[in-house]
């Protein structure tokens, strides 16, 4: 069988219609928009904004958000067309299978592990940090940090992380909720989204009056900017091309891009949408628009309230609470924001874990992963075994890996998926021009090409260590494909990928 054998659109559409024994259709347009916002607003906004501003873009992190949003908009339009046309749970993996063949589909499915699984791990680490803030830093450093992290306290005592227990706890709790059911998970997510969006708006409204316009001047970090002092007392130089000016803005875009991860996760629930042809584009594009507006306003206020150099020496994961307490002197608001952020992180983890399990579900039904990932619970009709395995895998990262490492890998996995989805639209328009498209990406091929260019530029701007780690991850994925997936692929077995009802008809 050719490495680039494709799954026919007709087969995919037949599978989408055959819902009798598959995932349960329970989601409407409102659920999908809420899922998108639930996945988007979280660690990226509250944590990565400060990192990008302090280390690369300065106040111009707002421009970084705009660049990232433009790249996401191009990709989002392509996702909207695919998800309305092929309402299958596999998201970018499924789209690649139909347009570029099995090997590319496997590569993109493997890359999505970096997005969803590592995304959930990254946010669980931030969840742990904010929980510790709420309880007055009463959790010992050793039990809420990875073994690769250490801190010297005011008394000169060095503390070394052992395991991030709170991160492991929230991953377990949300995995159990996902096993219980998609609709139940969507209801919990909706409540959380309402709370955290309200708190973001409150911070913007109150913080606007505390903006010091001197903090926005100069807007771009100059090449001769004096070094900032890091938490360990060492100087942080801005001399590097990617730490000042437009180079810093571009790198900042690659970093805050993490803040947009989530709208594409909506497409992984396409098989569970009641009316995917209408509601999937609304869910994807609607959540992206709402969050982009909030992000730009939020980053403007945050960098106006506190100078960007503060986010090198202090703040970090607790950047928003730090800015409020230090410059606004509203302790109650800092606590409220921390609580809302804690809830927000919970919804992000929930949607990331859901998205990953749905991608694995589809890859398993295609034979590329073991059957355990597509076994459905007899009562809840959720991929419960997949959720259990994912908890163990994601839990290892959440408990033992620093947040910065997991976050950058998440960004590159997502950007790579976006590039291939944009390419897939161009290919399918040329090869299948007469297919019914409930939503059509405008200005093809201009929009997909621009999406590919912007996303590729953000990949290039990421640290070299991240690119190398992603390359190693892909090598591991290819080894698994050629040793297992290629052998058990159902695409080479006649009749295996037919939907259940068609198999019964043939009998």
Share of the chain above pLDDT 90, in %: 36
What band does 243 get if pLDDT is binned at 50, 70 and 90? very high
pLDDT digits 0-9 by tens, 265-274: 788 777 788 8
pTM above 0.75, yes or no: yes
- The reported pLDDT for the residue numbered 270 is 75
For 231, phi then psi, to 5°, come to -60, -30
Distance CA 454, CA 457 (A): 5
Indicate the range of 24-28, 316-320, 433-437 predicted with least confidence.
316-320
The neighbour count for residue 205, using CB atoms within 10 Å, is: 11
HSE, side-chain direction, 13 A CA sphere, residue 379: 2
pLDDT digits 0-9 by tens, 185-222: 888 888 888 888 888 899 999 999 999 999 999 999 99
Distance CA 184, CA 354 (A): 12
Residue 22 clears pLDDT 70, i.e. is over it: no
H, E, C per residue of 14-75 = HHHHCCCCCCCCCECHHHHHHHHHHHHCCHHHHHHHHHHHHHHHHHHHHHHHHHHHHHHHHH
Task: Catalogue all structural domains in the chain, each as residue range(s) with its CATH number.
Answer: 9-506 (1.20.1740.10)
The neighbour count for residue 298, using CB atoms within 10 Å, is: 24
pLDDT digits 0-9 by tens, 340-359: 778 888 988 988 898 899 88
Spatial contact of 382 and 361, defined as CB atoms under 8 Å apart: no
Distance CA 328, CA 311 (A): 16
Residue 502 clears pLDDT 70, i.e. is over it: no
User: Burial level of 418, CB count in 10 A (0-12/13-18/19+)?
Assistant: buried
Distance CA 150, CA 301 (A): 31
> Mean pLDDT throughout 212-241?
91
Indicate the range of 99-108, 260-269, 323-332 predicted with least confidence.
260-269
Both tokens assigned to 81: 């067309």
The neighbour count for residue 273, using CB atoms within 10 Å, is: 24
More confident residue, 490 or 506: 490
Give, in order, the Cα–Cα distances in Å from 196 to each of 128, 346, 464: 17, 11, 34
Q: Cα–chain-centroid distance for residue 95?
A: 18
């Amino acid at each position: 069988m050719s490495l680039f054998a494709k799954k026919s659109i007709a087969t995919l559409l037949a599978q989408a219609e055959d819902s009798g024994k598959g995932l349960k259709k329970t989601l409407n347009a409102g659920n999908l928009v809420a899922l998108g916002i639930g996945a988007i607003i979280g660690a990226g906004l509250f944590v990565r904004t400060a990192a990008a501003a302090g280390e690369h873009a300065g106040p111009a992190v707002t421009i970084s958000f705009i660049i990232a949003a433009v790249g996401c908009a191009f990709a989002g339009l392509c996702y909207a067309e695919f998800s309305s046309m092929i309402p299958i749970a596999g998201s970018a993996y499924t789209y690649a299978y139909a347009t570029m063949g099995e090997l590319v589909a496997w590569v993109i499915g493997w890359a999505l592990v970096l997005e969803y699984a590592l995304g959930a791990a990254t946010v669980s680490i931030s969840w742990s940090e904010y929980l510790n803030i709420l309880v007055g830093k009463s959790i010992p450093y050793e039990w809420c940090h990875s073994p690769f992290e250490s801190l010297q306290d005011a008394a000169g005592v060095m503390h070394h992380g052992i395991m991030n227990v709170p991160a492991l706890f929230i991953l377990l709790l949300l995995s159990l909720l996902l096993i219980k059911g998609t609709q139940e998970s969507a209801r919990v997510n909706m409540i959380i989204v309402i709370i955290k969006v309200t708190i973001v708006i409150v911070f913007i409204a109150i913080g606007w009056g505390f903006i010091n316009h001197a903090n926005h001047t100069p807007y771009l970090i100059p090449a001769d900017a004096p070094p900032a002092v890091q938490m360990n007392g060492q100087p942080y130089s801005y001399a590097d091309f990617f730490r000042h000016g437009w180079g810093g803005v571009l790198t900042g875009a690659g970093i805050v891009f993490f803040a947009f991860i989530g709208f594409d996760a909506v497409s992984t629930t396409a098989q569970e949408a009641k009316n995917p042809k209408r509601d999937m584009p609304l869910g994807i594009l609607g959540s992206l628009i709402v969050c982009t507006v909030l992000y730009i306003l939020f980053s403007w206020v945050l960098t106006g309230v506190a100078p960007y150099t503060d986010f090198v020496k202090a703040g970090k994961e607790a950047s928003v609470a730090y800015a409020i307490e230090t410059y606004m002197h509203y302790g109650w608001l800092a606590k409220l924001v921390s609580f809302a952020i804690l809830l927000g992180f919970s919804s992000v983890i929930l949607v990331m874990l859901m998205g990953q399990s749905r991608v694995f579900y589809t890859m398993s039904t295609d034979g590329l992963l073991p059957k355990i990932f597509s076994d459905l619970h007899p009562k809840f009709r959720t991929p419960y075994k997949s959720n259990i395995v994912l908890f163990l895998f994601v839990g290892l990262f959440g408990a033992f890996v620093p947040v910065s490492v997991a976050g950058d890998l998440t960004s590159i996995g997502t950007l790579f998926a976006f590039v291939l989805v944009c390419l897939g639209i161009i290919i399918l328009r040329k090869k299948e021009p007469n297919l019914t498209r409930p939503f059509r990406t405008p200005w093809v091929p201009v929009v997909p090409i621009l999406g590919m260019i912007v996303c590729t530029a953000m990949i290039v701007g990421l640290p070299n260590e991240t690119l190398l780690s992603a390359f190693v991850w892909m090598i591991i994925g290819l080894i698994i494909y050629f040793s297992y997936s290629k052998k058990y692929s159902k695409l080479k077995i006649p009749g295996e990928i037919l939907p259940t009802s068609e198999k019964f008809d043939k009998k």
